[in-house]
Amino acid sequence: RYKGCYEDAQTRALTLKAYKDSSENGVNSNGRCIRECANRGFTFAGTSTSNECHCGNNYDYEKHGKKAGTCTRKCHNNPSETCGGDWRLQIYSDVIECKGVKGKDYHEDCHKCLNTAGSYTCNCTGGYKVDPSTKQKCIEINECEGTRGVDYHQDCHNCTNTIGSYTCGCRGGYELDPETKKKCIGEILANV
């Protein structure tokens, strides 16, 4: 989330210099700086002088200088973006949702929250998977999807999904496999 372009000072608005990349092949971008700072657990990221990235958790970054009009320095080896300027910080914030309150700052159905740059993802406990549409909550795995069949004797005829598993019921002429309890077995009778 872009916060704005701010004047910087010797005391630094964002106290940690994450990197200064002026190498021939080095490429600076605001996204790279945001990811670097988020991976280190910082809330704020700021690019400066085209090739620097600064990180901090200082919510009062405005105390170091007034909001500058614009940051006009092109990013090092990346002229499509601006990366601050001389004593100018182009500041972005990344809310660390996982340090917040479950159900308020991150989804109540997330079992283990993992912060990412600009968002978060979840890890899930057994019987659950990450919702592929949001990656921010856990949904129960439906073990009956794709396992139920009516034409083959090895399948489960009446599948009932349960958390972390499923139960199986069989049609007449078949019985539940006593070993696995997950498929129906029986002899297929052919009309002659």
pLDDT in tens, the chain (192 residues): 788 888 888 888 888 899 998 788 888 899 899 888 888 888 889 999 889 999 988 665 555 556 666 789 999 988 899 999 888 889 888 766 676 667 666 678 888 877 776 677 788 888 888 888 877 888 888 877 764 444 444 577 888 888 777 888 888 888 888 888 878 887 655 444
The partner residues of 123 in beta bridges, in order of sequence, read 112
Identity of the residue numbered 137: K
CATH number of 142-192: 2.10.25
**pLDDT value at position 65?**
55
Which option is the CATH number for 97-140: 1.25.40, 2.10.25, 2.60.40, 3.20.20? Answer: 2.10.25
**What is the residue extent of each domain of the chain?**
2-93, 97-140, 142-192
Phi, psi dihedral angles at 14 (to 5 degrees): -120, 115
Q: What is the tens place of the pLDDT at every residue in 4-51?
A: 888 888 888 888 899 998 788 888 899 899 888 888 888 889 999 889
**pLDDT value at position 4?**
84
Q: Distance between the two ends of the chain, CA-based, in angstroms? A: 73
DSSP state of 136: S
pTM check: above 0.75: no
**Angstrom distances, CA of residue 24 to CA of 64, 87, 119:** 32, 23, 32
**pLDDT value at position 54?**
93
**Angstrom distances, CA of residue 55 to CA of 13, 162, 187:** 9, 46, 69
**pLDDT value at position 70?**
78
